[in-house]
Structure 1
Amino acid sequence: MDIAYTPATELAVRIRRGDLSPVDVVEYFLDRIERRDDEINAYVTVCDEKARTAAEAAERALLAGEEIGPLHGVPVAVKDLTNVAGVPTTFGSKLFADFVPEEDDIVVERLKDAGAIVIGKTNTPEFGRKPMTTNLLHGATANPWDPTRTAGGSSGGSAAALAAGLTPLATGGDAAGSLRVPASACGTASIMADFGRVPMESRPDGFVNTHPYTFSGSMARSVEDAALMLDVIGGPSDGDPFSLPERDDSYLGVTRRGVDHLDVAYSPDLGICEVSATVEGVVEEAVDDLGRAGASVDRIDGVFEEWETLHDALEVLLQDRYLGMYDNFVRDHDIDILDRREDVTEEVVSRVEKSLELDALDVRRAERVRTEAYDAMREVFADYDLLVAPTLGMFPFEKDTQPSEIGGVPIDPLHGWALTWPINLTGNPVVAVPAGFAEGLPVGLQIVGRWRDDETVVSAAAAYERVRPWEGSYPAD
């Protein structure tokens, strides 16, 4: 049975029909993880016994003719910033190496209720701090297309597990590109639906996820699979103050729509980012295919005006967020990051130290810049239904390194090579899909929509996938 790259939608149907056993499916993926993950390091915890027990229960439910959920028996990997009851959540940090939560986060709860089986926890940089997946506790996650290169981050373990055929579905989150960066680097798909569509119930601060806009999302090898997962994890929750009401239709249903009525703006660099000529060439071919699918596509000069001012606003908001995290750790866990700096990555220490120097005026000024960015996006969507752009400005680089330039132009080593983070300032829905491949490595495209119009983004991404399919484009074992 070779099901490593079988779509989750197909696995769910075959399990429901009795063509596949949940026990056999889970055992297959556990065996594949054991054989393949030493090189990739996508997983930090494999829930072998828990997964086997859940699979046996799923098998009994099928034999008994019980009512089952849409993901019954389908394995899912969970990013190690998300709690699974009885399984370590380390946040990629030595400080939490022994932390085991007692309750599931709401996303995991909904996945389990739909019948999905948690097969393991995936690697992330410490507290999701950077767009490369490496930390002092678990090491670096490799890109399955070239294990010497980065898988991106912060949901890099999830994306690498998908690309390597180590899971059919995975969870991720995104505050500056953490769903989209690894999707681009690994040749997979991710969906950031309307803000509030997937509740997070963050505690002790239920309002933190606007600083900047932070999304919980679905990750898969296809838009259709990610849409199926989004239907499961999305929906209202009174534990999230930003939670949206129930939708009338499903995301999986909107994947059947076309794009022949849509006006699309293509920005090759958002006006502020460096993009390599090779990456731009691959993305332009993908944009041409979007036009061939029926959309009307115009190239626009830019969206934003100045990289440094916009990025400074992002940094202030992230520092403000980390100040709250620092205080929470002291209050709730008796852990002072600055007293344990030998156990913490330099990037986290630096952000915490800078956060202690912030004042309220710094944050208000950042919010004014953010408002200007929001208005710039509104101007685009006054004339267009969608905005498309590259996800990354360069190919995945060597793991355990940081880039310093693109095409000879110096860049910021953390965010200067990604075109993702401005969208977290504005909060627009966005889907990341593969644009194609060059030099044996994936190139990504992001499709952005108006506020509260994520269904158009999902439907357009699925229509694009039909004219430019990447099914079958997987790394060699």
Structure 2
Amino acid sequence: MTPFQPAADIARAVRAGDRSATEVVEPFLDRIAERADVTNAFVTVLEDRARERAREVDAQIERGEDPGPLAGVPLAVKDLTEHIEGVRNTYGLEPLSDNVAEETTVTVRRLEAAGAVIVGTTNTPELGHTPLTYNELQGPTGTPFDPDRNAGGSSGGSAAALADGLTALATGSDVGGSLRNPASCCGVVSVKPSFGLVPKQTRPDAFYSHSPFGVLGPMARTVEDAGLMLDALAGQSDVDPFSVPAEGDYHDAATAGVPAGAFAVGYTPDLDRFAVEESVRTVCGTAVDALADAGTAVADVTVGGPSKPDMTFDYGKQATVYFATIVDRLEDEHPELDIEGEHAGDVPPSLLNTLGMGRGHGADDYMDANVGRTAFYDAVEDTLDGLDALAVPVLATPPLPNGADFPTEIDGENVSGLPMDWMLSWPFNMSGHPAVTVPAGLTDDGLPVGLQLVGHRYDEERLLSLAAAYERANPWSYPGAE
């Protein structure tokens, strides 16, 4: 069993007694130690804790107990809003480099209750504020396909760890594409679930994640593994007033073998708004053609609604207020923290600019953005009528070099140099539609490109069945996989 073995296969072997969880975790810990400097994916590696947890899983097996559907599966946790009691939790902030979490969040508790073995925490930009994973504390995280190029963000550490065989599963979060963007840059699978399907534990403000819709979700190397992990994460929890019951069986949906011919998909290479590099259009178009060749009904579609400048303005208002609010809450919790004052030199200008913009918006600005969101939501609903999903590129270009600015020109078109011109992901945080990101393929330069399959709200089962059919039509492998 290699570090690139699917999580579902690991769990089956451990539950059947064919492999011990202790035997499983060691190759992952060895590979993390050997390749720690290649992508810089991990913030904290939990060797002793992982070994102890693996022994607990083995003891359950010996007692004839079922340790759960993720039995013995190595898993990494993004070093942001999910945390583990007694483990360092930095939020990507240099001033919080020694901060230790005082409790374990509900998602982590659920994953461990399902049998997972947590091997460490993964890198993220400060507060997850940008779609490139770099911070003053840890430095940049690169994609295993070319470590000099960024893994994307803000869940870049999780995506890179998966693609490099350092973990079998990982958590991520998404306010504007932070599950999907790194999945695209690293060639992995992610699920941005419908709002509320996976509970968030945010105190003292349990209500802030609705504008824009911020969610937690699974990251994996296969659609089956993503479905298996979503089963463990999903469902109502009293810690989250927005959480909803999980009514599906996501692993079954991902493994049901529904034929590609059972689906209808609408394809838009640019969401009728974005400049998209020709290499991305080519890779995504070829991937969608393969799905059509397998039997899926594919049609070119247009998505109406507000103009891109209006949508960008509305998203910017709510996203910047969102991050300004996070800083206020974090500074209340950590009185020694002063991000815009004493510690301004310890964070990048991009975070300070984000906070400055957020503090410049009034409550009426913040609420007015919902009118544009509603118009885009209606447009997506209209386009999805009669379809199972929309297929849309995740990013306008392949992974960017570490240290690079966002593009000011894409496909010969001048753009603003803001991340909203580079990502085709954030509009669906405005509308709340779920999305499964799958690897579309490689450019001629060997760089990964991701495709997001955007579905009906709370229809993750159908979306995962489609993603599995896509996966069968578009096989995928990783650098270093044996």
Give the TM-score of the pair, scaled to structure 1.
Answer: 0.96
RMSD in angstroms over aligned alpha carbons? 1.5
Residue 234 of structure 2 corresponds to 234
Q: Which runs of 5+ in 1 are unaligned?
A: none
**How far, CA to CA, are the matches of 2:8 and 2:237 in structure 1?**
26
Q: Which residue of 1 aligns with 2:183?
A: 183
Does the 8 Å CA contact 2:150/2:400 hold for their aligned counterparts?
Answer: yes
Aligned-partner SS, 1:218: strand
Q: Is the 8 A contact 1:272 1:304 kept in 2?
A: no
Partner amino acid, structure 2, of 1:428: H
Identify the range of structure 1 (298-307 vs 146-155) with the bigger mean alpha-carbon deviation: 298-307
Report 1:26-425 matches (<5 A). 26-81=25-80, 82-247=82-247, 249-255=248-254, 256=256, 257-334=258-335, 335-339=337-341, 340-404=343-407, 405-411=409-415, 412-425=417-430
Q: Hey, what's the Cα distance between the residues in 2 that align with 1:285 and 1:130?
A: 29
8 Å Cα contact 1:110-1:233 kept in structure 2? yes
2:431 aligned partner = 426
How far 1:452 sits from its partner (Å)? 2.2
Which letter does structure 2 place at the counterpart of 1:173?
S
Alpha-carbon spacing, 1:25–1:278, altered in 2? closer, same or farther (3 Å): same
TM superposition shift of 1:403: 3.0
Residue of structure 2 in register with 1:464 after alignment: 470
Instruction: Map Cα deviations across residues 199-231 of structure 1 (whole Å, 9 max, x no partner).
Output: 112211111111101110000001110100000
- SS of the aligned residue for 1:337 comes to coil
SS in 2 for 1:448: strand
Which residue is 1:450 aligned to? Answer: 456
1:292 Cα offset (Å): 2.5
Deviation at 1:269, TM superposition (A): 0.2
Structure 1 CA distance for aligned equivalents of residues 172 and 480 of structure 2:
21
259-268 or 79-88, which deviates more: 259-268
Give the match for residue 24 of structure 1: 23
Count of residues in Structure 1 that have an aligned counterpart in Structure 2: 474
Q: Distance in 2 between matches of 1:294 and 1:215?
A: 32
Q: Deviations over 1:12-60 (max 9, x none)?
A: 0111122222112111111100001212100010001111111122222
Describe the superposition over 1:322-362 as per-residue Cα deviations: whole angstroms up to 9, x where unpaired: 23223213322212321120112211111112222211121
Please give the secondary structure, in 2, of the residue aligned with 1:135: coil
Runs of at least 4 residues off by over 6 Å: none
CA contact (8 A) 1:271 1:304 kept: no
Displacement of 1:264 in angstroms is 1.4
Give yes or no for contact 2:129–2:323 (8 Å, CA) kept in 1.
no
SS class of match (2:295):
coil
Secondary structure at 1:148's aligned position in 2? strand
The one-letter code of the counterpart of 1:420 is S
Distance in 2 (alpha carbons) for counterparts of 1:282 and 1:324: 39
| 1:437-465 Cα distance to aligned partner (Å, 9 max, x none) | 12211111100011222221111001111
Q: Structure 2: which amino acid aligns with 1:237?
A: S
The structural deviation recorded for 1:193 is 2.0
Counterpart secondary structure, 2:184: helix
1:264 partner amino acid: V
Which string of whole-angstrom CA distances, capped at 9 and with x for unpartnered residues, describes residues 115-137 of structure 1? 10110000000000100000000
Give the CA deviation at 1:92. Answer: 0.4
- Report deviation, 1:304: 4.6
Q: CA deviation at 1:305?
A: 4.7
Whether the 8 Å contact between 1:145 and 1:475 is mirrored in structure 2 is no
CA drift at 1:475? 4.6
Task: Give the Cα–Cα distance (whole angstroms) in 1 for the partners of residues 190 and 243 of structure 2.
Answer: 20
**CA contact 2:303–2:379 (8 Å) conserved in 1:** no
Change (3 A) 1:262 1:67: closer
SS at match of 1:172: strand
The code of the aligned residue for 2:90 comes to T
Amino acid at match of 1:381: L
Q: Secondary structure at the match of 1:49?
A: helix
SS in 2 for 1:265: strand
Separation in 2 of the partners of 1:448 and 1:68? 33
Q: Is the 8 A contact 2:143 2:149 kept in 1?
A: yes
Aligned AA (1:368): V
Q: Normalising to structure 2: TM-score of the pair?
A: 0.95
AA aligned to 2:43 is V
Deviation by residue 1:296-339 (Cα, 9 ceiling, x = unmatched): 11102444552211111111001211232232133222123211
Partners of 1:179 and 1:86 lie apart in 2 by 26
**Alignment-mate amino acid for residue 10 of structure 2:** L
Q: 1:419 to 1:192 in 2, by over 3 A?
A: same
Q: Report the Cα distance in structure 1 between the residues aligned to 2:403 and 2:473, rounded to whole angstroms.
A: 36
Are the counterparts in 2 of residues 195 and 215 from structure 1 also a CA contact under 8 Å?
yes
Q: Distance in 2 between matches of 1:398 and 1:302?
A: 31
Give 3-state SS (helix, strand or coil) of 2:152's partner: coil
Supply the distance in 1 between the matched residues of 2:239 and 2:36 (Cα, whole angstroms).
Answer: 36
